[in-house]
Each structure stands twice: as structure tokens, then as C-alpha cells.
Chains A and B, each alone.
Chain A
Amino acid sequence: MDLALTGRTAIVTGGSRGIGFAIAARLLAEGARVAICGRDTARLDAAAERLRASSGCEAGRAGEAVLAVAADTSVSADRDRLVEAALERFGRVDILVNNAGTHVRATVDDMTDAQLQGQLDDKLFGFLGMIRAVLPGMRARGDGRVVNIIGQATRHPHPDRLPSGIANAAAQAMSKALADALARENIRINTVCPQYIETDILAGVIAKEMADRNLDRASAASGFTRANVLGRLGTAEEVADLVAFLVSDRADHVSGSSVSIDGGYHRHVFG
């Protein structure tokens, strides 16, 4: 399937590892030029080098096609700097993938306001701020594709994931409202909701389980693998494939949609 992404330009926030890195690699392989950002400069630079060396990036355009900008997307000045750098390098931003942000667990008894605020800064204000920053260009061209990566706690809140659940639900509502508002300008906004993807974050949780409860890896991971109907963890590449489809010309009529990618974990009929 020709996604027609050749020559398109993208920003993938949180692109230095996990799902964000896989998305950047996939878009690059489809012929797009990609800017990634992250907070950890060393990890970011290493990720950019890996992207430039990846099979999807022909040697001839390696230097030009990948841009790495150290930025914290919860900080307004950083967002502006990131978008300016992408515009300076690429001339325009056709695609925005809001992916930066971590997963914060806490309950009603131990969640602090600062934890919740941090999640809102990352996912609500961060995502919204990024959309605002790329919007003028997208509006001027009458074409824009945005995917917000919002963990499945948005649909399926857990008492022990209060900060993420609340922030994700807010980000989801923001995404739908903006999709509705901007569709007539041919700016499509969709959300992708992963759960049980084998990333560094999840690997950390599994490692902790192994250490805390003296378990082997399969047993420590079984809580995750058993919770979804496919009985396995997903890969970052599987999420990246879905994102690439949604930002492509092939999904021109998909707008304001929210797609679960969770191995069948979410049980509600309408999602």
C-alpha cells in the first residue's frame, strides 16, 4: 500500500525510544523527513544516529532527513524551539505525532497534585501546545495530520493509575474537540491508544515485578499477557504501523477517530 508519505515532513515527540522511535523509523522508511525530540540529549543523539543508519533511510538523505532537537514538550519555549527548528530544516511540518510523556501510577491515597499536574503538562498542555505551534502552517496549506498517542487508561481507568487515567481522558476529549473544529480545514486529528506494548517503560515494570516477587520473566509478564485476548505483548513497531496508516493519504476520511491497539484488552463494545 503506497502511503504517499514520500517528501512529507513530521515531528515525533518523545522519539528517542520506544513507540516514538519506532514511529520515526517507520515514517522515515516511508520516505518522510522526521524531527524527533526528547529530554535526554545523549539518548536523543544516539536515537538520531540509529535512525540515520536504519535501513529505511537511504544514505544519500541521512544527514538531511533526520533532525534531533533536545526539548521538553511540557515547556512552552521548548515546543516553539522544536517547531522552529523543524521549519528551518524542512520548510514545513505536515505531520505531528504527539507521543512524549510517561506513565505515572498513583492511587487516591498517595497521588500528589504535582504528579497530576506533571501528567497534564505532558499530555494535555504539551499535546495541545504542539498542535497550536504547527497549526498556522497546516492551516495555510489546508492539510495537516495529527496523531496523539494516548495510553489506554483513557478508556479504561485503574484506581492505581490515577494521574495517567485523568490526563489521558483529558487529552482524548481535547483531541476529539480539536478534530471537530479543524476538520473543515482538512486537518485530521486522531488518537491511537496502546496498551501492553513492550517498551522500556513496561520492561521496567516487569523487571520490578521480577525483583520484588522473585519471579521469572514469563510469570512477571503474565499479568499483562493474560489481560488481553491475544495473550501477548504488542511491539512498538505494531503501533508505528497504525500511526503511519493514520497520517497517510490512505486515511483521508479518518478524522476524530480513536483506535485501540491493545490486543483486545478493552472490553467496551464501542471502541
Chain B
Amino acid sequence: MDLGIKGRVAIVSGGSRGIGREAAREFLEAGVKVMISSRHGDQAAATAAELAQQTGGEIRATQADSRQQADVERLVKETVAAYGTVDILVNCAGEMYSGRFEEMTDEGLQNQLNTKLFGWMRAIRAVAPIMREKKWGRIVSLIGGAGKEPDPYMFGSAITNSALLNMTKSLSTEFGPDNVLVNAICPGWVATDLWRRNEEGLKKDLGVQSTEEARKLAAKKNALGRFGRPEELANAIAFLCSERASYITGVSLNTDGGRLKGLW
């Protein structure tokens, strides 16, 4: 299927690793020019070099921390300077904030909100005028399914994610008349570094000793019974950012192997 986005320009925040990295690869394969960002500029640069070599596509990287207004503005400015415009924004930057009610701190939650809710909104604020003016834009945010069906172990993330889902729907209404489509993809457990960083905490929460057991129990929560692969999430991102998804806005597509049990 021709995605119809050859020559478009995409920003993928959190693009140095995991799902963001695979999304960047999908875009490059579809002929999209890509800017990836990460808090760690060296990692982003290394990823860009690797992906450029593997795909032959046009990709750049920059350091940006979504908690810093100046960083986000610079990210967009650098993209426009390099490629002339921004057509696609994928919000992927951020960590999961895991832990139950007793463990959550105000500072921890505030940091999560700063990174994802305020951080992603900053990025949207910076790109929306460009997209609205040209009457074409795609904004896709990766919002974990705990935002729909809370998991006590992900208390802080779940709160943040619900707020992000609400933001997504609101902005889809705000930008719809200008053909700027705003959607979310809701992953469950995906085999990435983020999972590995959360492994110890999850082992404790699940009351198991081995990584293998923790993985098995976590995978069991979804109907397919396995972890998602980063490229599977990237496929969904690429589709929703494509010309092929031109009548879809305001949705949150569960790409989670059937983890969420609710209908909507």
C-alpha cells in the first residue's frame, strides 16, 4: 500500500530507541524526511546515522528534552531550517512512571506531566500553526493503555495518559477543520529498553523472582499472549500518519494484542 507521504517531513520525539526509532525507520522507508530527538543527543545522532545507512533515507537528529520549552522550540526550528516545513509529529518522548499509590510522589507525577502532557503539548503548539496553514498535518501520540484501563502499578502513568487522551480528542476537534488529524496509539507491553528498565519493579510487584516469569505474567494480560514488537507499533504510527488515514481523527487505536478488555 502506497502511504502517499513521500517527501513529507516528520518529527519523532524519543526517536533514538524503541518504538520511536522504528517509527523513524518506517517513515524513511516511505520516503519521509525525518528529524528525531532525544534527551541524549549522542544517542539520537548514532541512531540517525544507523538508520540513514540502513535505509538510504534523509534523517537528522537533535538533542531535546520535552520538559524544556526552549528545547522543543529549537527542535521545530531546526526541522524547518533543514527541511522547510513539518507535516507529521510523533510524540514518543518519555518514560513510564511506574509504582503504586503509596510509592508515587508529587514530584514524580509532576515530572511525568511535564515530560508528556506539557512536553507534548509544547511540541504540538510549535508545529500546529505550520500544519494548519498548509491544511495538512498528522499528529500521533503514543499513550499507554493504562490511560483507558488503569493498572494500580502504573498509577502515575495512568493519570498522565488519561489526560493525554483527553488532550488528543480536544485537539482533534480544534484542528479538524484545517485537515490536521490528531490521533493516539495505545500500546500495551512492548519489548523495548523501557520494559527492561521497569523489569525489576515489575518483578517485585508481580511477586516473582525471574525475568522470565515476569515477562510471562505481563504477556498473559493481553489476549494474544505475547509482547508487542516495536515495529508493530511503528506500523500503526506510519499508517495513521499516512494519506491512507485521511478520514480518521480523534481516535485512540489500541495496538496492544487485546490487552484492554473494555469495548471502547
Binding site for B on A (CB under 8 A): 1-3, 30, 155, 172-173, 176, 179-180, 183-184, 186, 188, 197, 228-231, 234-235, 238-239, 241-242, 244-245, 248, 250-264, 266-271
Contacts and interface: CB of A to CB of B under 8 A. Distances in A.
Contacts of B232: 250-253
A1 B228 CA distance: 19
B244 A245 contact: yes
B250 A264 contact: yes
B1 A179 contact: no
Interface in B1-33: 1, 3, 26, 29-30
Contacts, number: 138
Given A172-B263, A230-B179, A253-B224, 12 more contacts: A183-B258, A184-B224, A229-B172, A230-B249, A251-B236, A253-B228, A253-B257, A254-B254, A259-B251, A263-B249, A267-B169, A267-B173
B83 interface: no
A259 B89 CA distance: 21
Contact of A242 (B26, B248, B262): B248
Contacts of B165: 269-270
Contacts of B249: 229-230, 263-264
A221 B126 CA distance: 35
Interface string B227-264: 01100110110110010111111111111111011111
Contacts of A244: 1
Most central of A179, A261, A270 by chain B CB within 10 Å: A270
Nearest to B226: A253
18 contacts: A1-B235, A180-B261, A183-B224, A239-B247, A241-B244, A251-B232, A251-B236, A255-B223, A256-B223, A256-B260, A257-B254, A260-B250, A261-B251, A262-B247, A263-B249, A266-B250, A267-B169, A270-B252
B201 interface: no
B19 to A, nearest CB: 11
B207 interface: no
Nearest to B243: A241
A197 B248 CA distance: 12
B176 interface: yes
B203 interface: no
A266 to B, nearest CB: 7
A208 B13 CA distance: 49
A127 to B, nearest CB: 15
Contacts of B248: 238, 242, 259-261
Chain A CB within 10 A, most for which of B169, B235, B261: B235
A261 B235 contact: no
Contacts of B152: none
A1 B224 contact: no
Given A253-B224, A260-B250, A261-B248, A269 B166 contact: yes
B260 A1 contact: no
Given A179-B223, A231-B176, A256-B258, A270 B148 contact: yes
B224 A264 contact: no
Contact of B233 (A3, A253, A267): A253
A1 B173 contact: no
Nearest to B254: A257
Query: 9 tightest A-B contacts by CB?
Result: A229-B176, A183-B223, A256-B258, A234-B247, A241-B244, A253-B232, A250-B235, A255-B258, A238-B247
B264 A3 contact: no
Given A253-B233, A267-B169, A230 B223 contact: no
Nearest to B165: A269
A139 to B, nearest CB: 15
